[in-house]
Amino acid sequence: MNYKVSHPTKNINCEINLPSSKSISNRLLIIRSLCNDYFNIENLSNSNDTISLVKALNSSKKNIDVGHAGTTFRFLTAFFAIQKNKEFILTGSKRLRNRPIKDLVKALQEMGAKIEYMENEGFAPLRIIGSKLKGGSIQINAGISSQFISAILLISPTLENGIQLEVTKDLVSKPYILMTLKLMAYFGIKWSWNKNIISIRQQPYISKNYEVEADWSSASFWFEIAALSKKCKIKLKRVRENSIQGDKKIVDLFTSLGVSSVFKHESLLLTKSEKKTFPKKIDLIESPDLYQPLKCTLYAKDINTEILGLQTLKDKESNRVAVVKKELEKLSSSKRIKTYKDHRMAMSFAPLCLKFGELQINNIEVVNKSYTNFWNDLTKAGFIIYPLSD
């Protein structure tokens, strides 16, 4: 389905219950599956990615199809590799089958994992026969995806020799690796990170209940809305100031774009403030998911900034740098936005109606990957949305 999106006043006044973090939720689900004792997860994400992981972990079938869920696929690759004497066929959508998995598979194979490529080498689908992995000293290319590293770290306490994981080349999305390690520490795991080696000995996870905080990646679209509005008072609920999510960096980025952020009682209030000079160059190597809402905001405000650290974006749900450029260039002649089966495309371009007038967002259901209530929340903020048949 396609939507027409507009805003009559460009004045925003609303309170929003942001979705729970799917990044935290997915890590918790793997940890719980590796725990001897069950624990409760409060406010688990209801995103498609998390739902696909829940279904996979609870499935008794050999064939597991995770759709577009890249994090789910990578975490399960490592998790299934240690499920002794069980066989799995792990696959996903066409786009997912074009996303690289070779560096993760190679590292697991070096530990003794029995993983085969069923079609093209380096890509899904995979045939996995669970076995006892030896762990030990392993190298992995850290410049492809932090999810490869997190997938290995999550299973590492169960390995007989633990792990000494050497991360080589330029590390991307480091905050996501730190998120994984901090969550593991909450559940009793001791670890160390010296220079480029992460060490974890064999040890048990300790069961504890956990409440998932709101998703900072989802908050980024409300910062974009605040920046492009005439006036705003946006209250984002359940947002933690001491968050373990790296995308909290959005607060600092948007301060220079005229957005004031004040924390109060696990909520965040966004209002307009005096604009400052935005940097001529920024590096998003640690928070590449912020690229789309930031780039769209900068374009709408006619600000030229060189954005570095985007090398992982070509292998996301879409080639994000390329498709953002293509759709922004179309705005002068067409108000129809393609989303390329990428949730962040829909959520980054919808706020641009505050600058460019009514826009058509195609295939609006893509937001379900991470933020199922996005369109309903826009209506709370005064946006006018109506569906089109095609």
Mean pLDDT per 10-residue section of the chain, whose length is 390 residues: 97 97 97 97 95 96 94 97 97 92 96 96 97 94 88 96 90 92 98 95 97 96 98 96 94 96 92 90 94 97 95 87 95 93 95 97 94 97 89
Task: State which CATH number among 3.40.50.2300, 3.40.640.10, 3.65.10.10, 1.10.275.10 fits the domain covering 2-20+213-388.
Answer: 3.65.10.10
pLDDT of residue 332: 86
Dihedral sign for Cα 262, 268, 269, 270, please.
positive
pLDDT of residue 390: 57
Which residues are part of the catalytic machinery?
Answer: 289
Instruction: Kindly state the tokens that stand for 267.
Output: 């909520």
CA R_g for the chain: 21
pLDDT of residue 170: 79
According to DSSP, the residues that pair with 282 across neighbouring strands are: 307
Region(s) of the chain under CATH 3.65.10.10: 2-20+213-388, 22-211
Torsions phi, psi of 166, nearest 5? -95, 120
pLDDT of residue 171: 85
pLDDT of residue 312: 87
Contact status, residue 27 vs residue 46, Cβ threshold 8 Å? no
Q: Which homologous superfamily does the CATH classification assign to the domain defined by 22-211?
A: Enolpyruvate transferase domain (3.65.10.10)
Contact status, residue 115 vs residue 128, Cβ threshold 8 Å? yes
Q: What angle do CA 138, 97, 315 make, to 5 degrees?
A: 70
pLDDT of residue 373: 97
Q: How far is CA 255 from CA 80, 214, 289, 309, 354, in A?
A: 43, 20, 18, 21, 19
How far apart CA 96 and CA 315 sit, in angstroms, is 9
| Count, residues in the chain | 390
Instruction: Kindly state the tokens that stand for 279.
Output: 């940097």
Map tokens 């990646």 to a residue.
Answer: 217
pLDDT of residue 153: 98
pLDDT of residue 257: 96
How far apart CA 297 and CA 293 sit, in angstroms, is 6
Torsions phi, psi of 66, nearest 5? -100, 10
According to DSSP, the residues that pair with 211 across neighbouring strands are: 42
